[in-house]
Chains A and B, each alone.
Chain A
Amino acid sequence: MYRYDEFDQEFVNERVAQFKDQVRRRLSGDLTEEQFKPLRLMNGLYLQLHAYMLRVAIPYGTLNSKQMRKLAHVARTYDRGYGHFTTRQNIQFNWPTLSDTPKILEELAEVQMHAIQTSGNCIRNVTSDQFAGAADDEFADPRVYAEILRQWSSLHPEFLFLPRKFKIAITGAPQDRAAVQVHDIGLQLTQNEQGEVGFVVFVGGGLGRTPMVGRKVRDFVPEKDLLSYCEAILRVYNRYGRRDNKYKARIKILMHETGLDDLKQEIETEFEAVKHTFLDLPREEVDRINAYFAPPEFAALPAVSDVFEAEKATNPAFANFAKRNLNGHRAPGYTSVTISLKPIGGAPGDATDEQMEVVADLAERFGSDEIRVSHEQNLVLPHVKLDDLPTVFKILQANGLGTANAGLVTDMIACPGMDYCALANARSIPIAQEISERFEDIKRQQDIGDLKIKISGCINACGHHHVGHIGILGVDRKGEELYQITLGGSADENTSIGKIIGRGFPADEIADAVEKVVEAYLQHRESAEEPFIETYRRLGDAPFKEALYGTA
């Protein structure tokens, strides 16, 4: 994985020193809260309901065991013994003090981590496929380009005060696991007829109060033009994006108000002006960055592992895990393991310091020292030998990390909601917990099959409810929590925005409602092979409305 060079390290160290001084001046009264707030936000420090919250960047969700151990250390030493992994593949600590934060950032800098650009109206952490560099369906490793974009966007002088935040995602596989079409810029690695590497470019996707699917602005941007093209998009956005209304400030609104053809024209015109300049991406530079992401040396193994097959045949819990939590690997005899952070009844995305240590140990012993965070709030060991999997699973299981539910109904995304967040109107985590308990039976979960439930505690949609097969949005109605259900959302290569099915449900009825929707699916699916989203797309709202309201 990428390692800081002297410039990166110096830049991060300087930033820590700068923030340390800003905190000192705030505490002495030299800076007012009004002056200090944007400074702390630029360093990922929010003030939430109960305490400060520090959001630490995990670039494109990739980290090594040393970094994971540092996160565990921060959780243990400065927080309450846990961290929360987020849909931007980052981690949030919910209880740090302002006075400890400079020290935390100093410690993070020791392992090449920071919290820069995890907040504010700038380009945020570039997200990617959690199986990057490992997946058997991958065309090229997207992290190489994610890293190039990270370097380009870090402290980019033109783009630190954009009209609003800006999110980029990139995938290198045809099966989109990075939700690229709901990002401000979504990049899909591809090649042209000449076999040259390039990108399909989507612009103007996003969730929040105005969900939109990104529009394709280019079928092919050559690799060398990646930065020039992104620079052109950002310049157009920076110039025309609205600054008068923060709810209309994202590029999706600019796309909507300007229209695809006109905005494309603006981007192309700007691109003509910036291309063939210093932003050209030389092949040597791509190769240099590529070398950081060279795959580990894989042993020559048979595709079928006797050890793995034998364990599967005799250990039902292992067989369940193997059924759901493994992703096809490019090297025979290897697999990518999803470590679910969605135990039954747990808070989605939370991991204790001990669990982080366990994952770090496993990565070191069995996983080429690599760990990933998925946007679905799980962890991944991307390179594990099938032969080692029985041992890995035993250790995971012993530490509450062996839940065999990846992609199943209990593998939900949920934002922190009103239990932590100052913006939320309703709680999310207790809803996720209740649904999780409701569907605890693993046989039932497996029978239901692929089903993504996503829960947000307010219209800002941090829980991605718009793109949940079943989405749940918590709102405040006259002081009571009320939950709206949307159906038919999806964030893969066939991205769609879910539709509100009807009136909402109070907190104590929402799990029942979800269960009714699931039962209606089971009743109406053509076969066990037809997943929920396909049944919905085939039949539309009607059977689900009928099940919920009896009013088809």
Chain B
Amino acid sequence: MKIITANRLLDGEVVWLGPQDTWVEAVGEARVFEDTEELKAVLGSEVVSEERQEVVGVYEIDVEPKDGSIVPTKLREAIRALGPTTHPAFGKQARAGGRAA
């Protein structure tokens, strides 16, 4: 299982590609790719192009299902999805409703 991530150009916010081809701020809302060919096609498409001035640094990451949602498998990506582990008051983890989960 893979999803596509990037940082938003304007403020650096971590985002993931959502089901509507828009960038979403919560990893749980990301569009999940089970099919490698489909993932490749999207990664090569206009949808994720940096030239749209929306995001920078587009790449794919591995995720796994957890508690009815998905979580990144690598620690680095888990930290991106939540915020600094040392500062629970900052980053997505601090936001209401645990949207990052």
Provide the A90-103 mask, 1 if CB < 8 A to any CB of B, else 0: 00000101110000
A210 at the interface (CB under 8 A from B): no
Q: Are B74 and A479 in contact (CB under 8 A)?
A: yes
- B51 contact from A29, A97, A479, Cβ within 8 A: A29
- A29 contact from B12, B53, B74, B91, Cβ within 8 A: B53
Residues of A within 8 A of B50 (CB): 32-33
Nearest Cβ in chain A — how far from B7, in angstroms?
6
Cα A430 to Cα B9 with chains together (Å): 29
Residues of B within 8 A of A32 (CB): 50-51
Q: Are A99 and B11 in contact (CB under 8 A)?
A: yes
B3 at the interface (CB under 8 A from A): no
Provide the B9-21 mask, 1 if CB < 8 A to any CB of A, else 0: 1111110000000
B43 at the interface (CB under 8 A from A): no
Residues of B within 8 A of A95 (CB): 90
Nearest Cβ in chain B — how far from A130, in angstroms?
25
Q: Given that A27-B53, A429-B86 are contacting pairs, would A418 and B76 also be in contact in the complex, using a CB cutoff of 8 Å?
A: yes
Cα A52 to Cα B10 with chains together (Å): 9
Interface locus among B33-41, B63-71, B77-85? B77-85
Q: Are B75 and A418 in contact (CB under 8 A)?
A: yes
- A47 contact from B56, B73, B75, B84, Cβ within 8 A: B56
Q: Are A98 and B12 in contact (CB under 8 A)?
A: yes
Q: Are A48 and B12 in contact (CB under 8 A)?
A: yes
Cα A479 to Cα B62 with chains together (Å): 12
Q: Which of A416-472 contact B (CB under 8 A)?
A: 418-420, 424, 427, 429-430, 433
Closest to A479 in B: B74
Q: Given that A80-B90, A419-B87 are contacting pairs, would A51 and B12 also be in contact in the complex, using a CB cutoff of 8 Å?
A: yes
Provide the A38-58 mask, 1 if CB < 8 A to any CB of B, else 0: 000000000111111000000
Q: Are A27 and B86 in contact (CB under 8 A)?
A: no
Number of cross-chain contacts by CB at 8 Å: 71
Interface centre among B7, B12, B74, B80 (most CB of A within 10 A): B12
Q: Given that A32-B50, A49-B76, A418-B76 are contacting pairs, would A427 and B11 also be in contact in the complex, using a CB cutoff of 8 Å?
A: no
Residues of B within 8 A of A430 (CB): 85-86
Classify the interface of chain B: helix, strand, loop or mixed. Answer: loop
Q: Are B75 and A347 in contact (CB under 8 A)?
A: no
Nearest Cβ in chain A — how far from B53, in angstroms?
5
Residues of A within 8 A of B84 (CB): 50, 419-420, 429
Nearest Cβ in chain A — how far from B24, in angstroms?
16
Cα A424 to Cα B84 with chains together (Å): 13
Provide the A69-107 mask, 1 if CB < 8 A to any CB of B, else 0: 000000000001000000000000001011100000000
Cα A26 to Cα B13 with chains together (Å): 17
Number of interface residues of A (CB under 8 A): 28
Closest to B94 in A: A80
A481 at the interface (CB under 8 A from B): yes
Nearest Cβ in chain A — how far from B59, in angstroms?
12
Cα A424 to Cα B57 with chains together (Å): 16
Q: Given that A49-B14, A52-B12 are contacting pairs, would A418 and B79 also be in contact in the complex, using a CB cutoff of 8 Å?
A: yes
Q: Which of A229-283 contact B (CB under 8 A)?
A: none
Residues of B within 8 A of A427 (CB): 79, 85-86
Q: Are B12 and A97 in contact (CB under 8 A)?
A: yes
Cα A134 to Cα B13 with chains together (Å): 44
Residues of B within 8 A of A47 (CB): 7, 12, 56-57
Nearest Cβ in chain B — how far from A426, in angstroms?
8
Residues of B within 8 A of A479 (CB): 73-75
Q: Given that A33-B50, A418-B76, A479-B74 are contacting pairs, would A98 and B86 also be in contact in the complex, using a CB cutoff of 8 Å?
A: no
Q: Which of A10-51 contact B (CB under 8 A)?
A: 26-29, 32-33, 47-51
Q: Given that A32-B50, A49-B76 are contacting pairs, would A97 and B83 also be in contact in the complex, using a CB cutoff of 8 Å?
A: no
Residues of A within 8 A of B53 (CB): 27-29
Cα A479 to Cα B77 with chains together (Å): 11
Cα A418 to Cα B76 with chains together (Å): 7
Residues of B within 8 A of A99 (CB): 10-11
Residues of B within 8 A of A98 (CB): 9-12
Nearest Cβ in chain B — how far from A277, in angstroms?
44
- A52 contact from B11, B87, B89, Cβ within 8 A: B11
Residues of B within 8 A of A80 (CB): 89-90
Q: Given that A479-B75, A481-B75 are contacting pairs, would A27 and B90 also be in contact in the complex, using a CB cutoff of 8 Å?
A: no
Cα A48 to Cα B11 with chains together (Å): 11
Residues of A within 8 A of B57 (CB): 47
Nearest Cβ in chain B — how far from A341, in angstroms?
14
Cα A251 to Cα B17 with chains together (Å): 43
Closest to B83 in A: A50
Cα A420 to Cα B7 with chains together (Å): 13
Q: Are B11 and A51 in contact (CB under 8 A)?
A: yes
Cα A52 to Cα B85 with chains together (Å): 18
Closest to B57 in A: A47
Cα A420 to Cα B75 with chains together (Å): 12
Nearest Cβ in chain B — how far from A104, in angstroms?
13
Residues of B within 8 A of A29 (CB): 51, 53
Q: Are B12 and A50 in contact (CB under 8 A)?
A: yes
With A29-B53, A51-B7, A98-B12 already in contact, 14 other A-B pairs whose C-beta atoms are closer than 8 Å: A47-B12, A49-B76, A49-B80, A50-B12, A50-B14, A50-B80, A50-B91, A52-B12, A80-B90, A98-B11, A418-B75, A427-B86, A430-B85, A433-B86
By Cβ-Cβ distance, the 10 closest A-B pairs, closest first, are A51-B12, A419-B84, A97-B11, A52-B12, A429-B86, A33-B56, A29-B53, A49-B80, A33-B50, A419-B86
Could you jot down 24 A-B contacts, CB within 8 Å?
Answer: A26-B9, A27-B9, A47-B56, A49-B76, A49-B79, A50-B13, A50-B91, A52-B11, A52-B12, A80-B89, A80-B90, A97-B12, A98-B10, A98-B11, A98-B12, A99-B10, A99-B11, A347-B86, A418-B76, A418-B79, A419-B84, A427-B85, A433-B86, A479-B74
B residues apposed to A, CB below 8 Å: 7, 9-14, 50-51, 53, 56-57, 73-76, 79-80, 83-87, 89-91
